[in-house]
Amino acid sequence: MSTTAGDPAPLPEPVALVTGAAGGIGAAVARTLARQGMAVAAADAAAEPLSSLVKEVTEAGGTARAYVLDVSRSADVEETVSRVEDELGPIGVLANVAGVLRPGPALSLSDEDWTATFAVNTTGVFHVSRAVGKRMAVRRAGAIVTVASNAASVPRSQMAAYGASKAAATSFTKTLGLELAEYGVRCNVVAPGSTDTPMLRGLWHDEAGEQGTLRGDMAAYRVGIPLGKLAAPQDVADAVVFLLSSAASHITMHDLYVDGGAALGR
């Protein structure tokens, strides 16, 4: 694929699998990849919003197909990845975006809260990355990006399960990158901070929630956002797509923070 100055960097293969594609960051990633000419396999457990996303992409001239998928179910993941490759072709890039948040004090979390959080945020990343990665290794090409969180390395009050699950997903993705490097497959992490999505807004109790996020909360040992604004889902999607593209062809095992400075450059 040839490019001219100002064109986006080309992506390695024409098929992308995006989990968590029904909304928020995942939907922004799916839209962006489709605009760049990729056939997007959009996967999510939420069937109705997933269908709406695929309709939006196709009406805009892109190529997308919906795959209803619970990433915590290993057999379902393997079957879905096989279907994607049968129906659309070899998966060239994978974006692990599916995630859940169960906030609460660490000592008040139930077993189900902990298990459900890890089932999607960590085990789901393992299931999908394993199914796709082994195919990429055979083809000796591909790129994987896991969307984690700055909470993976900076303790956040009320986010014990979320932060721990994202830390585990981050470590897994970097180790996978080390193991797949000899096959030419790159694996990276994007770590967003507060992003304007339904997940974030669900944490706010009133109209002061946004300003509280921007300013920080010293009582909870949380700094604000130095840039003074929330990330838009597209801000995070742009970072994901960059790491999937040939512009990042010599980057692997990297953890890119997209948080407006909230982690103070950690």
What pLDDT is stored for residue 216 in this prediction?
66
- Residue 193's pLDDT band, with cuts at 50, 70 and 90, is confident
Residues 130 and 213 in one domain: no
Residues 99 and 135 in one domain: yes
- Distance, CA of 16 to CA of 190 (rounded, Å): 17
Residues 225 and 139 in one domain: no
Residue 52 located in a structural domain: yes
Residues 38 and 53 in one domain: yes
- Residue 211's pLDDT band, with cuts at 50, 70 and 90, is low
Residue 67 located in a structural domain: yes
Residues 54 and 127 in one domain: yes
What pLDDT is stored for residue 6 in this prediction?
62
Are the CB atoms for 17 and 81 separated by under 8 Å? yes
Strands (E) in 81-195, as ranges, are 93-96, 142-147, 185-192
Residues 219 and 166 in one domain: no
User: CB 211: neighbour CB atoms within 10 A?
Assistant: 10
Are the CB atoms for 67 and 30 separated by under 8 Å? no
> For the chain, how many structural domains are there in total?
2
Q: What residues make up the domain containing 91?
A: 15-193+232-255
Report the CATH number at residue 167: 3.40.50.720
User: CB 117: neighbour CB atoms within 10 A?
Assistant: 25
Mean per-residue pLDDT, 207-213: 56
Residues 211 and 104 in one domain: no
Residues 136 and 237 in one domain: yes
Start-to-end CA distance of the chain, whole Å, equals 36
Structure-token pair, residue 99: 């995630």
What pLDDT is stored for residue 83 in this prediction?
98
pLDDT tens per residue, range 22-78: 999 999 999 999 999 999 999 999 999 999 999 999 999 999 999 999 999 999 999
Catalytic status, residue 257: no
Mean per-residue pLDDT, 181-207: 79
Name residue 64's beta-bridge partners: 40
Residue 4 located in a structural domain: no
Are the CB atoms for 44 and 71 separated by under 8 Å? no
User: If you count them, how many residues does the chain have?
Assistant: 266
Catalytic-role residue among 162, 183, 221, 257: 162
Residue 263 located in a structural domain: no
Residues 30 and 126 in one domain: yes
Residue 9 located in a structural domain: no
Residues 226 and 128 in one domain: no
Structure-token pair, residue 203: 């944490």
Nearest to 109 by CA among 55, 40, 168, 157: 157
Strands (E) in 141-252, as ranges, are 142-147, 185-192, 216-217, 222-223
- Distance, CA of 14 to CA of 70 (rounded, Å): 24
Residue 170, exposed/middle/buried by CB under 10 A (0-12, 13-18, 19+)? buried
Residues 71 and 186 in one domain: yes
Residue 96 located in a structural domain: yes
What pLDDT is stored for residue 171 in this prediction?
98
Residue 261 located in a structural domain: no
pLDDT tens per residue, range 227-251: 888 889 999 999 999 999 999 999 9
pLDDT tens per residue, range 128-145: 999 999 999 999 999 999
Residues 34 and 95 in one domain: yes
Read off the pTM: 0.90
Residue 171 located in a structural domain: yes
Query: Could you give the C-alpha distances from 134 to 14, 78, 172, 219, in angstroms and in order?
Result: 18, 11, 15, 46
